[in-house]
């Protein structure tokens, strides 16, 4: 069945709302407007204003309301329009939702799902082009998901809703129009997966950088370099075992991260490779990250600031020794 990333999310949301009366969707413009990215278009008419709730422009307020509803037995899905707006709700996410089970000695859980668009590449300038998934992956007490395929966009919501603790799903805005043939099925939300097998170099990517990594692997294959592409897809808990198994096979690694290089999730992955597979390496691991600047508005500068298939391929050639 061929469908878009957007439609996959729509189907997952509709299934959740249809099968569990505890589930409701809340956020800015999710109702009458149909969602900023049209994921919830038509849901207000289909499910009514009790299940599809437009909220005031207050992330701190409505994320807090979602936490309260989850504590009260509901299964809220809170949509934060874009990741940069989630900074206004950091207190609720980090100090309350993530810490509740620990601080209550296991007496309370917060079965809350927060969805938010992330990423650059749409010419929306510095304030709306953030890739802050690594910030959230730093925090104990939450799961962080970054579906980079249509199948994962379709399959990750159900297990996220079944989780007793908070789950954040990052949907890269550049992927909404991507189409793939899929068979709808529940998805593992604890493990990374190899999207392409190879023997010469491991390319680790996720979310909006996954299609670029796969394109880079195709370019490399035409040059005789056999790249394996690992889709991290679950940023917390981080699946070190799958990454390390790949690196022990290829003996080289390139990590692609749309976040900035300094303090990036890519740095954590490279550190784990160095700590646990140092003597398996034939070359230092490489990172391909966004330039250390606010994301520019002009198209050519935005593209230059972000990881691209050609820069990923160039990094892979360097670690393989074929520059």
Would you please indicate which residues are annotated as catalytic (active-site) residues? Answer: 59, 128
Task: Please tell me the distance from the alpha carbon of residue 63 to that of residue 84, in angstroms, as a whole number.
Answer: 14
3-state helix, strand, coil in the chain (%, to 5): 40, 20, 35
Quick one: residue 289, left, alpha or beta (phi over 0 = left, psi -120 to 50 = alpha)? beta
Contact between 83 and 118 (Cβ < 8 Å): yes
Q: State in Å, rounded, how far the first CA of the chain is from the last one.
A: 41
**Residue 29, exposed/middle/buried by CB under 10 A (0-12, 13-18, 19+)?**
middle
CB atoms within 10 A of CB 237: 13
Residue 235: half-sphere exposure toward Cβ, Cα within 13 Å: 30
How many residues are given for the chain? 323
The widest CA-to-CA distance across the chain, in whole angstroms, is 59
* 203: nearest Cα among 86, 320, 123: 320
Do residues 60 and 96 touch, judged by C-beta distance below 8 A? no
- DSSP state letters, 80-126: EEEGGGGGGGHIIIIIIITTHHHHTTTS-----EEEEEE---SS--G
């Amino acid at each position: 069945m061929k469908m878009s990333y957007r439609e996959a999310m729509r189907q997952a949301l509709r299934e959740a709302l249809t099968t569990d009366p505890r589930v409701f969707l809340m956020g800015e413009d999710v109702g009458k407007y149909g969602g900023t990215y049209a994921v919830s278009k038509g849901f207000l008419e289909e499910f009514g204003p009790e299940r599809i709730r437009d909220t005031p422009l207050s992330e701190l307020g409505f994320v807090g309301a979602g936490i309260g509803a989850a504590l009260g037995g509901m299964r809220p899905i809170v949509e934060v329009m874009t990741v940069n707006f989630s900074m206004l709700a950091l207190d609720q996410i980090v100090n309350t939702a993530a810490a509740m089970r620990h601080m209550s000695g296991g007496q309370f859980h917060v079965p809350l799902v927060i969805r938010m668009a992330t990423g650059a590449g749409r010419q929306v300038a510095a304030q709306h082009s953030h890739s802050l998934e690594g910030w959230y992956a730093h925090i104990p007490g939450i799961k962080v998901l970054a579906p980079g395929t249509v199948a994962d966009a379709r399959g990750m919501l159900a297990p996220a809703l079944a989780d007793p603790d908070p789950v954040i799903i990052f949907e890269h805005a550049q992927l909404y129009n991507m189409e793939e043939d899929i068979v709808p099925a529940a998805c593992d939300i604890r493990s990374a997966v190899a999207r392409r097998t190879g023997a010469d170099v491991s390319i680790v990517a996720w979310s909006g950088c996954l299609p670029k990594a796969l394109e880079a692997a195709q370019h490399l294959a035409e040059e005789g370099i056999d790249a394996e592409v690992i889709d991290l897809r679950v940023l917390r808990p981080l699946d070190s075992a799958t990454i390390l198994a790949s690196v022990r096979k290829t003996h080289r690694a390139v990590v692609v991260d749309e976040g900035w290089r300094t303090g990036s999730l890519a740095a954590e992955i490279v550190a784990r490779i160095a700590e646990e597979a140092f003597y398996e390496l034939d070359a230092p691991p490489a990172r391909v990250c966004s330039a250390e600047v606010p994301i520019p508005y002009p198209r050519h500068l935005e593209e230059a600031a972000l990881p691209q298939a050609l820069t990923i391929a160039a990094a892979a050639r360097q670690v393989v020794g074929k520059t």
